[in-house]
Amino acid sequence: MFESSDNQADLRLKPLRVPRLKDGIFSEAVDLVEALPGWSLVSKDEAKGVIECTRKARLLGAQARVTISFEAPEGVPSTTVKMRSESKGGLLNHDKQNVLEFMEKLRQRVV
């Protein structure tokens, strides 16, 4: 399991803070999940600010269950995006790479 955290040295692995409304960031994230090869949308709940998806297994790894969460004050253009990837099984763990892959691409879209 790996999740974005302010304790990470790499900026790309920290929660993403964007001066935009949550609904726009949420929509961009859903579009990105649907566009990335190997990623599949499982569920989305904009009211709760949560996207559940899977990342197809990579070489010697297992399929990952990915949770993307969005926090923002109502009506204020300030959104924080956090992400967690959990894999069970497989010889190699790719959870950190999953978070890096998605957060880097989301940052390019919204910043």
The per-residue pLDDT for range 23-52, each reduced to its tens digit, is: 999 999 999 999 999 999 999 999 999 999
Taking the C-alpha atoms of residue 106 and residue 29, their distance in angstroms, rounded to an integer, is 7
Determine if the pTM surpasses 0.85: yes
Length of the chain equals: 111
Share of the chain above pLDDT 70, in %: 99
Higher pLDDT, 59 or 13: 13
Taking the C-alpha atoms of residue 52 and residue 50, their distance in angstroms, rounded to an integer, is 7
DSSP state of 15: P
Does the pLDDT of residue 91 top 70, yes or no?
no
Does the pLDDT of residue 58 top 90, yes or no?
no
Residues 4-12 have a mean pLDDT of: 96
Q: What is the mean pLDDT of the chain?
A: 94
The per-residue pLDDT for 17 is: 97
Residue environment code for 48-75, b if the CB has 16+ CB neighbours within 10 A, otherwise e? ebebebbbebbeebbbbbbebbbebeee
